Amino acid sequence: MFSFQYSVLVELSASGYSILTKVRLDIVTIFPEIAASPLAASIIGKAQQRGLVDLRVHNLRDWARDKHRTTDDMPYGGSQGMVMKCEPFFAAVEELRQEANPQSAICNPKSHVILLSPGGRPFTQQIAEEYARLDHLILLCGHYEGVDQRVIDHLVDDEISIGDYVLTNGALAAAVVADAVIRLLPGVLGDEKSAPDDSFSSGRLEFPQYTRPVEFRGWRVPDVLLSGHHAEIARWRREQSVAKTRRVRPDLLKPSDDAP
């Protein structure tokens, strides 16, 4: 289902060449400023500046065919609210696919099309890791009462929900997915060991973290973390991770988590 071919950037360094993968990520929404703003700051913003990801946010109305740039209409069969039209989505995806892969056919398998929708499968860290291995992601943002079913049936490869709740627009969900994916790309995080230590990367919640001062208002950092004994620290962290997961998210635990 997924393409594992990469486009590459070559960076010249004093020690030679280092090869970095570069993912292109397109977000298509009628509210581009909502998606673009949070992704322009912090680690994700720096990743774009350094050329580690090619992130582009587009206005779906640019692919509308009428003079009013209409992207929604009343639903057939009668109902409250409006439904996103299929024509602009198809036109946008076909153009972006061709733009990203000019040497390939219009239905290029390298482009993975994702619809952000409350009706999709739950987004997880494992899905983020899968997406981070792809060449080209196109995130389509649903709005109003949803999108024409033909977009789901004949255009998208995946329908994703970021939680069991409803947002005012899909651009917020797209920003969440984009952030989760981009931070996994090589070179984005300062410490390459950071991502594997995150909650959910191991299937469990992350262990507690402490920093200076050693004691604050009578609350002391656990002695094991001050011991310098790396094997004991690793064991303590695993035990704490399992204990927190059992308390907060027992559904994540596997039988192997109870092994010593």
Name the residues annotated as catalytic. 118, 145, 183, 198
Question: 148 vs 89, 111, 112, 183, 255, CA distance in Å?
Answer: 10, 21, 19, 32, 43
Token readout for 180 is 């989760």
**30: three-class secondary structure by DSSP:** coil
Q: Alpha-carbon distance 179 to 38, whole Å?
A: 9
Beta bridge partners of 59: 29
Token readout for 184 is 């996994």
Report the DSSP pairing between strands 16-29 and 219-220. Answer: unpaired
The answer, yes or no, to whether the previous bond of 186 is cis (omega within 30 of 0) is: no
Residues of the chain by 3-state class (helix, strand, coil), percent to 5? 35, 25, 40
CA nearest to 27, candidates 122, 139, 189: 139
Q: How many CB atoms neighbour CB 34 within 10 A?
A: 19
Q: Alpha-carbon distance 33 to 59, whole Å?
A: 9
